[in-house]
Chains A and B, each alone.
Chain A
Amino acid sequence: MYLLQVNNPAGITSVMFFGTIGMLTLTVGLIVFIIFHQRKVIRYQGTLQRMEQDQQRMLLNASIRLQEEERQRLAADLHDDAGPLLATARLYLNENLVNMDKVSQLQSIYNAKQIIDDTIQLIRNISHSLMPPTLKNFGLESAVNDLFQKISGSGSLNASCRFHDYKERLKTEDELILFRVLQELVNNILKHSNASFIHVTQNINGDRFFLRLHHDGRGLTQSDFEKLNKSPVGLGLKNIQSRLKLLSGNIYFEKDVSQTYYKVTIELSKEEIS
């Protein structure tokens, strides 16, 4: 009112006319813009929602496939190894044993006992691969040490680990998840990277729990990881992602600044795992 001080009727009329037309145009323009913009935003949100659902479906499929593969492997181990061993032991202990002479009887019993011992060891190995007793009884640090000792013992590469801030154990189910993730990462390194060393470190920084895996072989960068995740292959990596999702954790793949080794960092919130 003070800014638009016009007093003569002609002036007032033109200001009113142009002002009204201007305001009307702006109002209609704004409303039309809002309607179309909102539809665009909703279409975009719909696309994001669909992408997220596709990603979830892919992760679930990968998880189910891995479970089935694990079951098939177990079934194969039991059928191909344990089954024939027990059948052979049974052969030795069949009813014809009573018709043999004492020496032959003792020999058959001894052979059957050997086979049963081998079967027990086989079943023990299968059971350990399902749930390592070291992990359950002594914790993540001991289980990883154990695993790395076996790998180093094979002579194929040098594996070591150092847990800096692991005075208190995590929950058993969280330790199992982290162990499986490390196991999967190590298996991938052994299968694909041609590395000569693997080193795992653990530490806590503020309220973040870190596990870092270093190796000097062919590794993945974060962009490789994301590409593999979006594709139907890379079952193991999807499994890692699903497991870390349970702990609300993040995983980063990168090549070290010195360009001499690859680093995989697993980051978790202390609140989520304590």
Chain B
Amino acid sequence: MLRTLSINSGFLPIIFFLLFLNRNKQKKLWVIFLYAVISVLTDYSYDIISRKNEFYIYSFFTIAEFTLYSIFLYYNLNTKLFKKLLLISYILFFPITIYSFFQKEFENFDSLTASIECILIILFSILFLYEQIKEPESIFIYTSKKFWIIVAFFLYLSSTLFLFMYADKLPTMEKNYYWSINFVFNIVKNIFFTIAFLLRKNAFSDQPLMKNQFNY
């Protein structure tokens, strides 16, 4: 039941994105739309493919998730240093993925890659939010689409970090039991994406606040 709800919640952001296309024309939002589509397709593919190939599906999804998140964040970060760090971490992520790929033989989940991806996304989400405090771009941060998108990733991945970390060590029965955490926060993530797509167009390209200066 929860699994069905989680999988079907993936359609919410897709539907609202298309319904409110006028509000979501920015290229940055298309990246998230693509992510939502890949997420739904990946969820449905678990039922179709054999157990042996689950590992490859999980790995592919992890890489796609990190790539799309990095693209989205790269175009939303203003600090050059943070952008460089993001690029470097993205480049370094691949050797780890390849290593994990060849280490694990037909195990059902790539814990190493998924955990590292979670940690990186959490760190960069914190950096983004720190940037928002240091140089606020809008009066109310929660009127900004990118805020909801970043918080969606942040909340989802921080809640599932420990689950993904131990997923390969858990027996199948237990893993299926605890996978509910993933389902619940996947639903929350999709709701947050939907909120982001529902917000009005101006909420994305926020007017910069006037900077105060006292120089003569």
Contacts and interface: CB of A to CB of B under 8 A. Distances in A.
Contact of A23 (B151, B158, B214): B158
B102 interface: no
A41 B211 CA distance: 12
A27 B162 contact: no
A15 B166 contact: yes
Contact of B216 (A31, A34, A245): A245
A250 B216 CA distance: 7
A15 B158 contact: no
Interface residues of B, number: 36
Interface stretch (A42-50, A138-146, A184-192, A204-212): A42-50
A245 B209 CA distance: 24
B216 A249 contact: yes
Nearest to A12: B166
Given A9-B171, A34-B133, A27 B142 contact: no
Nearest to A43: B139
B47 interface: no
| B contact patch SS | helix
Nearest to B111: A1
B159 A241 contact: no
B178 A16 contact: yes
A28 to B, nearest CB: 8
Contacts of A13: 174, 178
Interface in A19-36: 19-20, 23-24, 26-28, 30-31, 34-35
A86 B12 CA distance: 91
Given A16-B162, A23-B161, 13 more contacts: A20-B161, A20-B181, A27-B155, A28-B155, A31-B154, A34-B133, A34-B141, A38-B132, A41-B133, A45-B136, A52-B213, A241-B216, A249-B216
Interface of B: 111-112, 115, 126, 129, 132-133, 136, 139-142, 151, 154-155, 158-163, 165-166, 169-171, 174, 178, 181, 209-210, 212-216
Interface of A: 1, 4, 6-7, 9, 12-13, 15-16, 19-20, 23-24, 26-28, 30-31, 34-35, 37-39, 41-42, 45, 48-49, 52, 241, 244-245, 248-250
